[in-house]
Amino acid sequence: MIQASPTQAMNDKLIVRWLLTCAVVIFGMILLGGVTRLTDSGLSMVEWQPLMGIIPPLSHNDWQQLFLKYQQFPEYQQINLGMTLGEFKVIFMYEYLHRVLGRLIGLLFFIPFVYFFLTRRISPQLLPKLLLMLLLGGCQGLMGWYMVKSGLIDVPHVSQYRLTAHLGLAIAIYGFIVWTSLGLINKPSNQPSGLGMPACIISGLIFLMILSGGLVAGTRAGYAYSTWPLMGDSFIPAGLYDMSPIWLSAFENITTIQFNHRMFAYIIALVLVSFSVFALKKNISENVRIGIYSMLFLLLVQITLGISTLIFHVPVAIAAAHQIGSVALLTATLFVSHSLINRS
């Protein structure tokens, strides 16, 4: 392995602090996005103004103008007819803060990136990764509006496909930043062979699980069955995969979508626990051992939150915690995966 010069090592430390700061803010952004969705606030801003949109309504007249615009769209006409201006202000502020935080994340990434680039602090190996992060961040902003736009036409609900893509891209950017940061922090260590790839597969499964959760959120499938472990009166409910073509059920049939999400959870729990029991018997480092125990703890928390979200009919606080809990679990698996892959 080529050792970095002392100067580059110092630069890498600065870059890691910057990237991890971005990751923490994105973590908060994913939580706020969940709350915005769960409070049905996402369609309250009916225009996309990338530059001027950061300025909040400053007068009663500003609020009235925004409220009048909102009243011209399906969500008000079909769901919130008769809503007061005060009620509108609440949902508007959730979406407004969500968009402002998105812009702040863009600045938090772009300005230090330009500084590090101009001062030649970025290594040649790292530069393409940072440019890709920048590109993905821009795409995420466009995807956010593309998602919102789908709920402003006829049906006052965003497309589950676009919502899942928006969530998935946010998770991908977050995971990419975390993985890149770990590459600058983690030094190769003497870890047992044969554990890195299974850990990476688990990380991939958790990412797919989060996408499955996006479909649940986008179709409101979480409201369909509020019992556990049964779905209604049986473990395997009626109506599974009854659409034509059959594969469409996995994306548009709410019974199938919730069933698949539950099965994903059972499979991940079984695989993660089995992997952990096997790995803990090996001569792994203390950091990896702590990481595995963290995975198990977060898995237990996530399962508890998932079940609670169902049986309590999707309360905002628990459902938002369930969404962000999946990101915390993914973070722990990424740490374990990177540590086991990065062997000396």
Q: What is the pLDDT of residues 87-105, one digit of tens each?
A: 999 999 999 999 999 999 9
pLDDT of 1: 44
Say whether pLDDT at 258 is over 70. yes
Residue 2 above 60 pLDDT? no
Answer whether 320's CB lies under 8 Å from 31's CB.
yes
In which band, very low, low, confident or very high, does the pLDDT at 223 lie, cut at 50, 70 and 90? very high
Domain boundary among 121, 153, 185: 185
Owner of token pair 């971005």:
22
Residue 45 has, within 13 A of its CA and on its CB side, a CA count of: 26
Place of tokens 């530059």: 51
| Full residue range of the structural domain in which residue 278 is found | 192-344
Same domain, 234 and 135: no
| Residue 192 near residue 282 (C-beta atoms within 8 A) | yes
Q: Which residue has tokens 């939580």?
A: 31
Q: Which helix (H) or strand (E) holds 273?
A: helix 254-280
Distance from chain centroid for Cα 88: 26
Q: Answer with the one of 185, 218, 243 that is the final residue of a domain.
A: 185
Instruction: State residue 50's pLDDT score.
Output: 75
User: For position 52, what pLDDT does the model report?
Assistant: 65
Q: Do both 153 and 294 map to the same domain? A: no
How many domains is the chain built from? 2
Q: Say whether both 48 and 161 belong to one domain.
A: yes
CA end-to-end distance (rounded Å), the chain: 9
Question: What string of DSSP letters covers 56-83?
Answer: PP-SHHHHHHHHHHHTTSHHHHHT-TT-
For residues 171-177, give the mean pLDDT.
98
- pLDDT (mean) for 76-97: 95
